[in-house]
Structure 1
Amino acid sequence: MTKNDYIATPKRTKEILQTYDFSFKKSLGQNFIIDSNILRKIIEYAHIDKTSGVIEIGPGIGSLTEQLAISAKNVVAFEIDQRLIPILEDTLSAYDNIEVINQDILQVNLTEIIEKHFSPDQAVHIVANLPYYITTPILMGVLQQRTSIESMNVMLQKEVAERMAAKPNTKAYGSLSIAVQYYTEASIVMDVPKTVFIPQPNVISSVLRLVRRDQPLVHVHDEDQFFALVQASFKHRRKTLRNNLQTYFKGTLDKAQIDAFLRKADIDGTRRGESLTIEEFARLANTIYSA
């Protein structure tokens, strides 16, 4: 097969869309990639080889799926749009290492999928061009399942990718940065122009690489309370940490108690949430919730 025969070309993509009279659903955030070079770069950054198992989310008409099938041992792709299932059966018919499942990834038990479709010693990765409207729920849902997935390599809105990979004392840094980096090492590996999509999105995209940590970055006594405290600390970004905590703990802790906890955790309450590292947030949460 030559590069011109790949699904991810403007000509072939348009032919497939016309053959099946396919209309894009805005509600599903469908944007198909028409540049196979971009797809191969994504796969290269994901370190996919002939031993790898891959889970794809939202294969569309199979542009990325095809390139993954060429590079990986096997691919399991989850597509929520029933209309795309017969199209994928056609476009991917030349490959015997792809399983397409018509299911919402948010409803999937990934541990069961991994046990069923991949061998125990196989490295499993997520590689996906994610629908922008539901990027965060998908990624957080996967992370919170605590599976054996080694990495997630996903295309998403550049602004969201920057928030997930952000460091303290930057505008993009917030509770989402901490939630993602608690579980993974996050890095943006490339930007992707609008011109490689049909239809073209209104925003620039980035490819985010998330590598699972063997253990969460910090130890906390209670994860739910830790993440709630972090969110509260960013509730009003222009307010000090002390003020945000006073609002959050209103009726539970008074000002003097909050100040005492801040002193005990060795954190200046006049700082803003965006200046605290994840280690400092963990120390503060553990100080408050172990009292």
Structure 2
Amino acid sequence: MDNLCDINVIKDVLGRHSFTFSKALGQNFLVNPTVCPKIAQMGNAERGFGIIEIGTGIGVLTNELAKRADKVVAVEIDSRLIPVLEETLSEHSNVKIINDDIMKVDLHRLIQEEFGGLQVAVCANLPYYITSPVIMRLLEERLPIRSVTVMVQKEAGQRLCAKMGTREMGAVTVAVNYFSEPKLLFNVSRGSFMPPPNVDSCVVRFDVRENTPAGVTDEKFFFKTVRGAFSQRRKTLVNSVSASLGIDKPKAAEAVKRSGLEENVRPEKLSMEQLIKFSEELKTICGL
């Protein structure tokens, strides 16, 4: 069904299935017909690829993905949408819908069982409330995927794709840069949705790195250090890490010195290499 962005069609389909929008699930369905083709095109939906879609809505993006990719496996948490999707996606034999929570699905097993011989990418229009947890799970599990292309709240997208060493970066910026190369693709106005959310959105893509940055001997400690460093953004690196991680200030200061950094440096001024160096020095000084 190609007219799934038509408001009258949406109302008709949802009405016949007695569907009402769930605020708890952050449901906002796309009505701008130009958005999903662009997501599919920029999100590696092409021959030779299998696509994991997270959250289907009524199948607007699913439809575009299925036209281009060899196979689409869509994970949708709302069981009320399953009969809707059976209608709107009936023409596509290469689509499989899984009614489950993406945070509970065994993604390694899913990829192995559903996409044999295909390259894999992820595409999604994510509810704002689960943006970071979903993205970080996809990246941290080191899944055999090429890219993750998602629509997120504009402010969140700008933070995710901020340049290292700038004021806009945060702990999540470091994390996505560690596992991938993030890129902001295009903006999407709030009027592109039904019902319209209170904020604008954007589409971002994370091209997964074959190898993560060198020098990290303990990823758990590295990310703990990063979270601590950015937990109090107005403070210096020494004060923030000392306060958030419970590390003596002299030890934090010594780690800064050994890393070749200025005494009063702030976390947002650091590159990935400098953060890794600082984390390793801090780990050594603290005997961890």
Q: Shorter-normalised TM-score: what interval?
A: over 0.9
String of CA shifts for 1:201-243, please: whole Å, max 9, x gaps. Answer: 1111000100000011343111111111111111211111111
Opposite residue 31 of structure 1, the aligned amino acid is N
User: So what's the TM-score if we normalise by structure 1?
Assistant: 0.94
Q: Which segment is superposed worse, 278-287 or 43-52?
A: 43-52
SS of 1:107's equivalent in the other structure is: coil
Opposite residue 73 of structure 1, the aligned amino acid is D
Q: CA offset at residue 163 of structure 1?
A: 0.8
Q: CA offset at residue 247 of structure 1?
A: 1.5
User: What residue in structure 2 maps to residue 247 of structure 1?
Assistant: 243
1:93 pairs with 2:90: yes
Q: CA offset at residue 249 of structure 1?
A: 4.6
Find 1:159's aligned residue among 155, 162, 173.
155
1:278 pairs with 2:272: yes
User: What residue in structure 2 maps to residue 182 of structure 1?
Assistant: 178
User: What residue in structure 2 maps to residue 211 of structure 1?
Assistant: 207
Alignment partners' CA distance in 2, 1:28 and 1:255: 43
Find 1:288's aligned residue among 257, 282, 285.
282
For structure 2, the residue ranges without an aligned partner over 5 or more in a row are none
User: What residue in structure 2 maps to residue 42 of structure 1?
Assistant: 39
Q: Which segment is superposed worse, 161-170 or 26-35?
A: 161-170
RMSD value, Cα: 1.4
Alignment partners' CA distance in 1, 2:197 and 2:213: 34
User: What residue in structure 2 maps to residue 11 of structure 1?
Assistant: 8
Q: CA offset at residue 258 of structure 1?
A: 2.5
User: What residue in structure 2 maps to residue 80 of structure 1?
Assistant: 77
Q: 1:264–1:51: structure 2 CA closer, same or farther, 3 Å change rule?
A: same
Alignment partners' CA distance in 1, 2:270 and 2:165: 8
Q: Superposed, which structure 2 residues align to 1:57-72 within 5 Å? A: 57-72=54-69
SS of 1:95's equivalent in the other structure is: coil
String of CA shifts for 1:56-103, please: whole Å, max 9, x gaps. Answer: 000011111111111111100000001111111111111100000001
Find 1:56's aligned residue among 48, 53, 75.
53
Alignment partners' CA distance in 1, 2:176 and 2:64: 27
Opposite residue 105 of structure 2, the aligned amino acid is V
User: What residue in structure 1 maps to residue 233 of structure 2?
Assistant: 237
Alignment partners' CA distance in 2, 1:163 and 1:285: 22
Q: 1:169–1:215: structure 2 CA closer, same or farther, 3 Å change rule?
A: closer
User: What residue in structure 2 maps to residue 261 of structure 1?
Assistant: 255
Kept after mapping to 2: 8 A contact 1:39/1:64: yes
Opposite residue 232 of structure 2, the aligned amino acid is H
String of CA shifts for 1:120-151, please: whole Å, max 9, x gaps. Answer: 3x111101111111111111111111110110
Q: Which segment is superposed worse, 6-15 or 179-188?
A: 6-15
SS of 2:52's equivalent in the other structure is: strand
Find 2:143's aligned residue among 143, 147, 165.
147
For structure 1, the residue ranges without an aligned partner over 5 or more in a row are none
SS of 2:73's equivalent in the other structure is: strand
Kept after mapping to 1: 8 A contact 2:165/2:271: no
Kept after mapping to 1: 8 A contact 2:44/2:147: no
Kept after mapping to 1: 8 A contact 2:74/2:96: yes
Alignment partners' CA distance in 2, 1:268 and 1:246: 16
Kept after mapping to 2: 8 A contact 1:182/1:217: yes
Alignment partners' CA distance in 2, 1:93 and 1:127: 20
Opposite residue 159 of structure 1, the aligned amino acid is E
Q: 1:173–1:21: structure 2 CA closer, same or farther, 3 Å change rule?
A: same
Alignment partners' CA distance in 1, 2:111 and 2:242: 44
Q: CA offset at residue 44 of structure 1?
A: 1.4
User: So what's the TM-score if we normalise by structure 2?
Assistant: 0.95
Alignment partners' CA distance in 2, 1:59 and 1:97: 15
User: What residue in structure 1 maps to residue 30 of structure 2?
Assistant: 33
1:103 pairs with 2:100: yes
Alignment partners' CA distance in 2, 1:177 and 1:269: 23
Q: CA offset at residue 176 of structure 1?
A: 0.6
Find 1:123's aligned residue among 119, 122, 125.
119
